[in-house]
Amino acid sequence: MTNASSLNPSVTERFISAFSQNTLLFNIHCHSRDDDLGVHTLKPGDKYNFSFHENFWGTTHFYCRFTWGQMYTQFDVFYKRKSPCRFHKVFKTDIYCNWLVNSSAIYFSRMKNPSPSDFRFVYTWL
C-alpha cells in the first residue's frame, strides 16, 4: 500500500549506517512490549528495517538501543507523541521513518526515499 490513505497504514523503520569505512561495527537492538527484534550488526553502508501496523488503541511502542564501540544511546523510535516517527492525522498514509547513524549523531527523515540533505539532527551519542 504505497502512498494510500488508510485507517491502519504501514510504518517502516529504516536504520542506515553512515559510518566511514574501516570503523567499528554498529549494533542496533529494537523491542516493543510484545516483540524483541534481536541485535542487528551493520557495517558502514548497511541498512536494517522493519515494518509494522499501529495497534487499535494507538499504544504501539518501539524503542531501540544503539551501540558503537564504547558509545551508546537509546530512545523511542515509535511512540505516540514522544518520537519523531508518529502519526499526525486520523486518515493516514504509510509512514517511513529513516534513521541515519554516524559517528557524530543520529539524524531523522520521514521521507520515503530521503537524500542526505533531508535528514535532521535528533539525538547524540552518550
CATH of the domain at 55: 2.60.40
Q: How many domains does the chain have?
A: 1
The per-residue pLDDT for 100 is 97
User: Computed over its alpha carbons, how large is the radius of gyration of the chain?
Assistant: 14
Whole-angstrom distance, CA of residue 84 vs CA of residue 80: 9
The per-residue pLDDT for 1 is 40
Strands (E), the chain: 5-6, 10-17, 26-32, 36-42, 47-53, 61-68, 71-79, 92-93, 95-101, 106-109, 120-123
Residue 2 has pLDDT above 50, yes or no: no
Tens digit of each residue's pLDDT (9 = 90 or more) over 48-105: 999 998 888 888 999 999 999 999 999 999 987 778 887 665 556 888 999 999 999 9
Q: Confidence class of residue 8 from pLDDT cuts 50, 70 and 90?
A: confident
Instruction: Provide the residue range defining the domain that includes 80.
Output: 5-123
37 in Cβ contact with 61 (< 8 Å)? no
